[in-house]
Amino acid sequence: MDFIPLKLSVTVDYLFRAEESWVLVDTGYAADWPLLRRRLGEAGVSPSDLGFVILTHHHDDHVGCLGALVAENPDIAVVMSRRTEELLLAGRNDTSRGGGLINRRIAFLVRFKRFFVALKTGSLSAKDENLRFEPYAARSRDIVFDGETALSDLGIDSDGILVPTPGHTVDSVSLLFPGGDCLVGDAAADMLAFAGTHHCVIFVMDLALYYESWGLLLSRGARRVFPAHGRPFAATMLERDTGRNSAEDLVGYGGRT
Ligand SMILES: [Zn+2]
């Protein structure tokens, strides 16, 4: 598959062509909107050219530009799982199901995240928007799916399949293509490796479930992983790194683990 990565402040969105339509995967933080427009422009695509936006999960750094995108292109269909639909209404990342940051080193680095995002986007909001996003209620033209679903069944002219890959969050899904390319959102990552992430994203709700989803992707023929954080990597890394992080090392939000 030919994906065009759109590198934002922290998140990488992906763009691909499905016959007549452009499909965007994820949107970035709300503060990324000018940057997302610029990246789309660099790819020769305007927001009004997008037919679909697929959400890999409900987190603030993936759905932040949704309101702006839909306001500019009301014809776009937002594609989301049933669980994502529910979680988008809350306007806040779900931390009610346990889990935490992957280890102490990451927990330390995350304290500076707000400033890092400000550095990349050029705006430091007055109040801390951390973990929050503008709530979104699915419209009649949006597409809500349950469980494993082929894109063609949703009216998207592509041979990709949406597969639930929970663990990072309860609603995480990946998009798997027949050749083994997969867009995983945060179901795997290549970020802050020096701090011992071992291809895990920095926050994990349920580490055992996270690794189970890696196993699922591998069993379904995943060959090349395109994460929302970091650069693409070979799926064999998932096999190598399974179990390298321990649930005992998770650092919960608010001191909770
Ligand atoms: Zn996430």
Rounded mean pLDDT of 53-68?
Answer: 97
Structure-block tokens of residue 104: 């102490």
- Distance in Å, CA 230 to ligand 1 centroid: 13
Taking only the tens place, the pLDDT of each residue in 110-167 is 877 766 666 666 665 544 557 899 999 999 999 999 999 999 999 999 999 999 999 9
Tell me what pLDDT residue 130 has. Answer: 72
pLDDT band, residue 20 (cuts 50/70/90): confident
Q: How far away, in angstroms, is 75 Cα from ligand 1 center?
A: 26
Token pair belonging to 208: 């055992």
- Percent of the chain surpassing pLDDT 70: 92
* 247: pLDDT strictly greater than 90: yes
Per-residue pLDDT averaged across 36-48, rounded? 97
Question: pLDDT value at position 110?
Answer: 81
Higher pLDDT, 128 or 2: 2
pLDDT in tens, 165-213: 999 999 999 999 999 999 999 999 998 888 899 999 999 999 999 999 9
Top-confidence residue, 7 or 95: 7
Q: How far is the CA of 62 from the centre of ligand 1 (A)?
A: 7
User: How many C-alpha atoms does 149 have within 13 Å on its Cβ side?
Assistant: 17
Q: What is the 3-state secondary structure (H, E, C) of the chain?
A: CCCEEEECCCCEEEEEEECCEEEEECCCCHHHHHHHHHHHHHCCCCHHHEEEEECCCCCHHHHCCHHHHHHHCCCCEEEEEHHHHHHHCCCECCCCCCCEECCHHHHHHHCCHHHHHHHHHCCCCCCCCCCECCCCCCCCCCEEECCCEEHHHHCCCCCCEEEECCCCCCCCEEEECCCCEEEEECCCCCCCHHHCCCCCCCEECCHHHHHHHHHHHHHCCCCEEEECCCCCEECHHHHHHCCCCCHHHCECHHHCC
Instruction: Tell me how far the alpha carbon of residue 156 lies from the centroid of ligand 1, in angstroms.
Output: 24
Please report the pLDDT score of residue 84 as a whole number. 98
pLDDT at 121: 67
Question: What CATH superfamily classification does 4-128+142-255 receive?
Answer: Ribonuclease Z/Hydroxyacylglutathione hydrolase-like (3.60.15.10)
**Average pLDDT of the segment spanning 79-99:** 95
Per-residue model confidence (pLDDT) at position 254: 56
Q: What is the pLDDT of residue 125?
A: 56
Across the chain, mean pLDDT equals: 92
Q: How confident is residue 257, by pLDDT bands cut at 50, 70 and 90? A: very low
For the chain, give every domain's residue range: 4-128+142-255
Distance of CA 65 from the midpoint of ligand 1 (Å): 15
Report how far ligand 1's centroid is from the alpha carbon of 72 (Å): 25
Q: How far is the CA of 226 from the centre of ligand 1 (A)?
A: 14
pLDDT of residue 256: 41
